[in-house]
Chain A
Amino acid sequence: MKTFDKKFTLLWLITILIVFLVAIAFGITMRMEQAEMVDVGPLNFYILMTSHGLLMAGVWFVAGMAGIQYILSRYFEVPRWGSVVAYACTLAGVVVLLISTFLTKFHAGWYFLYPLPFYAKGADSGPVLFLIAIAILGAGWLLWSLVLLVTILRKYTVTQALAWHHITGRPGPAVSPFILISFVSLIGVTACLLAAVVLVILYFIELARSGTMSNDPLLMKNLTFFFGHTLVNEMLYLGLAVLYELFPKMAGKPAYKTSWYVAISWNATLLIVLFAYFHHLYMDFAQPVAFQFIGQVMSWFAPLPAACVTIFSVLTTVYRSNMKWSLASLLYFFGVMFWAVGGVGAILDAVIANNLVLHNTQWVPAHFHTYNLLGNVFFSLAFASWFADEYGSEKMAPSMVKVIFSLLVIGGTGFVIAFYLGGALSVPRRVDMYSETVDEGISLAKMAVVFASLYLVGMIMYTVDFTKRCAGQLFS
C-alpha cells in the first residue's frame, strides 16, 4: 500500500462528499418546488433534475470505482494514471455539465432520452456541451475501467477471475469474492460505457447533419437504457465488492471465500444485468414482444443471485459475531437491507401488468432512491467511514455515530416513503407542480423536504467529521 493510493482515495472521497451535498441541495430544491414552498419555475426545475440525476449517478459510480481501486491496490500494483485521468475527466465533465445545464439551460433530464436533447436544449450550444460532458466522463471512466480489468488480468485468466474453477472443482488459484465481483462489475461497466460511446456518436452525427439525418428513436432508447440502467446496477455491485472484502473483518470473522454458489450467482448476474434494462421499453410496442418478456423475466432474476447470496452472507456474518457496530458496519448492514427493500419495489414495477399503472408515477423514484440513497450510498459511505477509521487522526465518536446514523436512516426512510405513497396515489414523476387531481403530491413533497433535510444535516455532519479526521492526511 503506497501513500499515493491512500491520498488519492482520500481526494476522491472528499470530492465525492462535496458533490453529493450539492446534488442533495438540488434534489431538495426540486421537492420544495413540488411542495410549492419555492417558485423556481418549470425550466429551472428541469435544469435541477438534469444536474441532480447525472451528478448522483456519476458521483456514486466513481465512489464505487475508487473503493475498488483502493482495495485492489492493497494486493496488486495498480497503475495510478487510470485513477488520475478519471479524476481529471470527472472534474472537467462535471464543470462542462453544469455549464450546459445552468448557463445554456439544457434540461432534457439525466437520461437525455432521444429526441429530447434537440428540444429541451436551452441555447443551441446546450446539447453540444452536454454531450461533450458525457463524452469526457465516459472516456475517463472507460479508461479507468480498462486499467482495473488489466490489473486483475495480470494475475488471473478470464476464467479464473470469473471463478469458473470454483464451480467445476478444477484446481486453480483461490479467487476472493472481491476479485470475482469486481471483475464481473467492471465487464458490465465497460459494456455500458461503450453503449454510451455509440449513443453519443449517434447524437453528434445527427447534430452535425443538422436536420438532414435522424436516428431511430427505438435504437437510441435501447442504447440509453443499456447505458443508464446497467451503469446504476453495476455501481451498486462495485460497492458490494468492497463490502465482501471489509464486512467479515468488521464482524471479527474469517474473510469470505468464493464457494460454487457465489461463483454461479455472480456469473449469472454478469449476464442477466445486461438484459434487465428491457423493462424500460415495455411501452415500446414496436419492439418485439419477446423482448418485453425477456425484460420481465430478467428483471425478476437480476436481483436474485446477487441479493440472495449477499443478504444470506451478511446475515450469517452478523449472527453470533463479535461485531463492533461502527458507522461503517451499521451502514453496510442496513445498506444491504434497504437494497433488498428497493429491489422488491423495482421488481414490482418491472412486472408488466404493474408497470402499466406505475410507469410514470413516483413509484419509480421511490424504488431507485431506496437502493441508491439508502443502499449504494450507504455502501460507499461505509467504505469512507472504514477508511477514515483506519487512516484518520482518530475514530468517530460513538455519540456522533448514533446521531449521523439516525439522521441518515430516519431522513432517508421518510424521504423514500413520501415517494412510495406518491406512487401508490398515482402522483406523476418528473413534474414541477401537481394538478388538483393529484394534489396529495404537494403534501408528500412537503414531507419529503422535511426528511431530506434531516438526511442533508446528517451528511453535512458526516462530511465535516470525515474532513476533520482525514484532511490532515491529504497534506501530510
Chain B
Amino acid sequence: MCWAAVLLSFLLGQNPNEMDYLLRKIPDATFKTSDSSAMHISSWYSKKPVLLTLAYGRCPGVCNPYLLQIRDQISLLGSEKQFQVVVLSFDAEDQPEQLWRLAGFNENSPPPANWTFGVLEEDTRASLLTSLGLKTQMVGGLYEHNTVLALIGEDGSILQWIEGLPGTAQWDRLFKELTSEFVPVYSTLNNTVWTSCFQYDPASGTWRMSWGLLMILGPALITFFIIIILQSITRNDRTKNNSSILIQNQL
C-alpha cells in the first residue's frame, strides 16, 4: 500500500508539480478535534504558519511511516512555538485519537501543544483535498491515496507543497521557510522550456550551464562575425582609398 500512492499518481497521469499549487489559497475547511469542538483551519494559519497534512486512521500503509517521519524531522527543528502542525483525516469514520497513534503519540506520550489532530467535516472536505492535490480512491473499503505536506501562510496560501515522503533537501527548504530564512524558489522549469541557460538545483544551490546560455553569448558572437564579414567585403574600397586615408578636419 505504501507504494500505492506512487502507483496512483502514475495511473492518474499526474506527476508532482509544486508550481501548480504554490501561492494558491486553500478553502477555510472545518474539522472536529478530540474535544469535539469544530475548528476552522484559519484559526491556526491566521496566527502562525501551519504545516498541514492529511491521513486516515485505518490506513494500513503509508500514513504511519509518513507521520512518524514528520514527527522525527520536526523534533529536530525545535522551534515549536513558531508554527503549528495540523494533521487532518479525510475519513469521516475516524477519531482524532487514531491519528495520534499513527504519529507515534499515546496517552503516556501526548502530542505537544503545536500539534493539532482533527477529522474533516463533510461539507469542505472535497474542496480542501482538491486544493491540496490530495487524490483518494476507495478500494476494498480502504483508501488508496497520495501524501501531501503543505506549508500554509497566514493568508491561507500554500507556501510550500511536497508530495510523497520529503527528502532531506525538501525538509531543509521547509525549515528555512518556517524560520524565516531566505528560500530560493526558482520556477521548476518543465519540459516545454527549451531556452534555459542555467539549470539550477534549489536543494544544493548549485547550477550547471545549459545550451540556452549560447543565446546570451549569441549577439556578441554574431556581431564579431558581422564585423569580420564587413571588413572582408569592404577590402576593395579600402585599397582604393588607401592613399587618401588621412582625415582632414574641416571645422
- Chain A interface (Cβ < 8 Å from any Cβ of B): 1, 74-75, 146, 149-150, 153-158, 173-174, 176, 179, 187, 190-192, 194-195, 197-198, 202, 212-219, 222-223, 226, 245-246, 249, 255, 274, 285-288
Contacts and interface: CB of A to CB of B under 8 A. Distances in A.
Contact of A191 (B198, B207, B215, B219): B219
B110 interface: no
B248 A156 contact: no
B65 interface: no
Give the 10 A-B CB pairs with smallest separation, nearest first.
Answer: A194-B219, A154-B237, A216-B196, A286-B200, A195-B219, A191-B223, A173-B245, A153-B234, A249-B251, A286-B186
B62 to A, nearest CB: 33
Interface stretch (B7-15, B72-80, B81-89, B224-232): B224-232
B216 A219 contact: yes
A55 B219 CA distance: 24
B60 interface: no
A187 B231 CA distance: 13
Given A153-B238, A155-B238, A157-B231, A215 B184 contact: no
A176 B207 CA distance: 45
A117 B194 CA distance: 20
A153 B230 contact: yes
B241 interface: yes
B168 interface: no
A187 B227 contact: yes
B195 A158 contact: no
21 contacts: A150-B230, A153-B238, A154-B234, A155-B241, A156-B238, A179-B247, A187-B223, A190-B227, A194-B222, A198-B215, A198-B219, A202-B215, A213-B194, A214-B193, A215-B193, A216-B195, A216-B212, A218-B198, A285-B186, A286-B198, A288-B207
A287 B220 contact: no
Contacts of B228: 158
Give the residue among B200, B220, B248 with the most A Cβ atoms within 10 A. B220
Contacts of B187: 217
A1 B219 CA distance: 34
B215 A158 contact: no
Contacts of B246: 173-174
Interface of B: 184, 186-187, 189, 192-198, 200, 205, 207, 212, 215-216, 218-220, 222-223, 226-228, 230-231, 233-234, 237-238, 241, 245-251
B192 A192 contact: no
Contacts of A173: 245-246
B196 A176 contact: no
Given A191-B223, A216-B193, A226-B219, A255 B249 contact: yes
Question: Would you call the interface of chain A mostly helix, strand, loop, or mixed?
Answer: helix
Contact of B197 (A176, A190, A191, A216): A216
B196 A218 contact: yes
A216 B231 CA distance: 35
B247 A288 contact: no
A274 B220 contact: yes
Contacts of B212: 216, 219
Nearest to A75: B247
A285 B218 contact: no
B65 to A, nearest CB: 34
Contacts of B241: 154-155
A223 B215 contact: yes
A218 B197 CA distance: 7
A52 B223 CA distance: 29
Contacts of B230: 146, 149-150, 153
Given A146-B226, A174-B247, 4 more contacts: A190-B226, A198-B215, A249-B251, A286-B207
Contacts of A288: 198, 207
Contact of B238 (A157, A249, A274): A157
A173 B244 CA distance: 10
Contacts of B237: 154-155
A221 to B, nearest CB: 10
A74 B198 contact: no
